Amino acid sequence: MKKYGIICPTRKANPYKRMTRATKEHFVVPN
């Protein structure tokens, strides 16, 4: 999942926005 931009999704998750749209909340909230 490291290639999905989990490390820095808030930095620039444009392409990952759809892929991590549901998972983005899980990474942005804890981080």
pLDDT in tens, 1-31: 455 555 555 555 555 566 656 555 555 555 4
Per-residue confidence (pLDDT) for residue 15, from 0 to 100: 58
Q: What is the pLDDT of residue 18?
A: 60
Domain that holds residue 13: 1-31
pLDDT at position 24: 57
Query: What pLDDT sits at residue 2?
Result: 53
pLDDT of res. 25: 57
**Domain count of the fold of the chain:** 1
SS3 for 1-31 is CHHHCCCCHHHHCCCHHHHCCCCHHHHHCCC
> What's the pLDDT at 23?
59
Q: Which residues contact 4 (CB under 8 A, 6 or more apart)?
A: 16, 19, 20, 23
Distances (CA, A) of 27 to 8, 13: 9, 12
CB 4 within 8 A of CB 16: yes
Report residue 2 as tokens: 């490291």
